[in-house]
Amino acid sequence: MHKLEENINKLTKNILGDYIDTRTIDEIKTFDHPDNEDIVEIIEALRRIIFPGYFRNKNYRVYTVRNNISMILEDVIFKLIRQISIVLRYDEKYVSLEENEIRTTAEQITFEYLSKIPKIRALIETDVQAAYDGDPAAYNKDEIIYSYPGLYAILVNRLAHELFLLGVPLIPRVMTEHAHSKTGIDIHPGATIGKYFFIDHGTGIVIGETTEIGDYVKVYQGVTLGALSTRGGQSLRNKKRHPTIEDNVTIYSGASILGGETVVGKNAVIGGNAFITRSVPAGAKVSIKNQELRYNFESSKSVKSSELDPEESWFYII
């Protein structure tokens, strides 16, 4: 036992000696850090407010919607003010403020943010409808609300986006990365997304910060709406790096659309695995042409090849 304690003490001393205070990872900040668990709890509480009849908190044994929402809101307000007060210190314009000024600012932001809930709910209603209209495998809307990862990712993004617009540091990204970890769908909170947005299947989707998406857009798994190049690093901050997707566009699985100057026009269809770095006109259908399949058979050393069916509809298949 003595030897074990000696080894633990030695390791502790060794690790403390590694805190040389000159690296980012060595920094000990003078203010608290945001609490990821609280932020996730805020998401889930807001989800219950968005869908009051679907995700009730079993700890609240109340009999009216009014009382239930009031108690959830009180909890959200308390946690959100606390978390916003912490992260405002990441913004240079708040660093010199006194604690009471920080809290007052956090309260103002919190109440302004929560006033956006009806707007968010209106958008989510259109997203549920888009999923039902666009997916023949959806038997009812309850199935979509309870189980579709795409809807969850969109919901969290819409919640995070409003905080992002209010200039709240860090928390919006924590929110969307939580959704990313649960769904495999990575949407930056800065992305602007119109109504009736539908993500089908979803895994592997990446939507960058300056992406603009119009209304009635449908996106399948593995799609990337990204930057053409990030070699400029921090010099590219606040510049339009990601594409604009106009209304009624469908983007099939595995497609990559890159660049801040790239615009996909209204009613365009982007086929699976297409790689696009320039604008696509309205109504266009983009697909990979003359793709070849090769077959190797164990019973024979010969190799046969054939082109894919040139029929237009092949690249719509999921």
Structural contact between residues 154 and 197, judged by C-beta atoms closer than 8 angstroms? yes
Task: Answer whether CATH 3.40.50.620 is correct for domain 191-291.
Answer: no
Confidence class of residue 62 from pLDDT cuts 50, 70 and 90? low
Within the chain, all domains assigned CATH 1.10.3130.10 are found at 29-184
Confidence class of residue 53 from pLDDT cuts 50, 70 and 90? confident
Structural contact between residues 184 and 302, judged by C-beta atoms closer than 8 angstroms? no
Least Cα distance to 309 among 286, 291, 287 occurs for: 291
Q: How far apart are CA 291 and CA 285, in angstroms?
A: 16
User: What are the pLDDT digits (tens) for 262-272?
Assistant: 999 999 999 99
242: exposed, middle or buried (Cβ count in 10 Å: 0-12, 13-18, 19+) = buried
Mean pLDDT of 223-246: 84
Least Cα distance to 242 among 218, 264, 258 occurs for: 258
Structural contact between residues 143 and 126, judged by C-beta atoms closer than 8 angstroms? no
pTM of the model: 0.85
Structure tokens at 110: 């919190």
> What CATH topology corresponds to 29-184?
serine acetyltransferase, domain 1 (1.10.3130)
Within the chain, all domains assigned CATH 2.160.10.10 are found at 191-291
Confidence class of residue 16 from pLDDT cuts 50, 70 and 90? confident
- The pLDDT, as a whole number, for residue 307 is 54
Q: How far apart are CA 182 and CA 168, in angstroms?
A: 23
Question: b/e per residue, 196-211, with b = 16+ CB within 10 A?
Answer: bbbbbbbeebbbbbbb
Structural contact between residues 230 and 198, judged by C-beta atoms closer than 8 angstroms? no
User: What are the pLDDT digits (tens) for 124-178?
Assistant: 999 999 999 999 999 999 999 999 999 999 999 999 999 999 999 999 999 999 9
Who contacts 242 (Cβ-Cβ below 8 Å, separation ≥6)? 191, 207, 208, 209, 210, 211, 212, 225, 226, 227, 258, 259, 260
Structure tokens at 260: 């801040």
Structural contact between residues 254 and 270, judged by C-beta atoms closer than 8 angstroms? no
Confidence class of residue 103 from pLDDT cuts 50, 70 and 90? very high
